Amino acid sequence: MTLTYSMEGCLRVGQPAPEFTATAVYDQEFKTIKLSDYRGKYVVLFFYPLDFTFVCPTEITAFSDRYDEFKSINTEVLGVSVDSEFSHLAWTQTDRKAGGVGDLNYPLVADIKKQISAAYNVLDPEAGVALRGLFIIDQDGVVQHATINNLAFGRSVDETLRTLQAIQHVQSHPDEVCPANWKPGEATMIPDPVKSKNFFAAV
């Protein structure tokens, strides 16, 4: 695996996402994944601690079951852990009822050298695994959203989709901003001391 990471300090939103090339499991096969291959699409890149664990399969299958919703808005999903591609393959070949994840609609990336997790600043050095980091990367390869959960609790697919839709809206409507809890079809705001009063007057 090769990885380039030229930024100084910790990764922050608004910065280019660290590029990586790694082996992934998709459709029961090993494939080489490059983040730059997804340029022109949005990417939901999420990290999880380990295969064959407890919270992890609930997240992984939840994102897979909702994959078509991401695909419909020009977004790809990538899951990453510090397991090998062989562990990923075995896990996808294990039925969900037996603790596996079954066939998935997106790739699982192997980060066995822990370089990707380190580049995205989600590696827990004491535990030796990645925390539950989630990054939304835009079409130009820039990180627009980042969250990190501790190991014991999972993430929300609904909130990931909502945030992604808000990002896409403001990028396609640069004169608007999205208020708290905004969902597609709801009112936005003009970031201007006078024009913003139209939004506040309506609510």
User: What amino acid positions are annotated as catalytic residues?
Assistant: 56
SS3 66: coil
SS (HEC) of 72-132: CCCEEEEEEECCCHHHHHHHHCCCHHHCCCCCCCCCEEECCCCHHHHHCCCEECCCCEECE
> Any idea what the Cα angle at residue 175 is, between residues 172 and 181, rounded to 5°?
75
The amino acid occupying position 156 is: S
Cα separations in angstroms, 143 against 8, 50, 129, 157: 15, 24, 22, 18
Question: Distance (Å, rounded) from C-alpha 47 to C-alpha 80?
Answer: 5
Cα separations in angstroms, 163 against 119, 140, 154, 185: 23, 17, 16, 14
| Residue 194, Cβ density class (10 Å: 0-12 exposed, 13-18 middle, ≥19 buried) | exposed
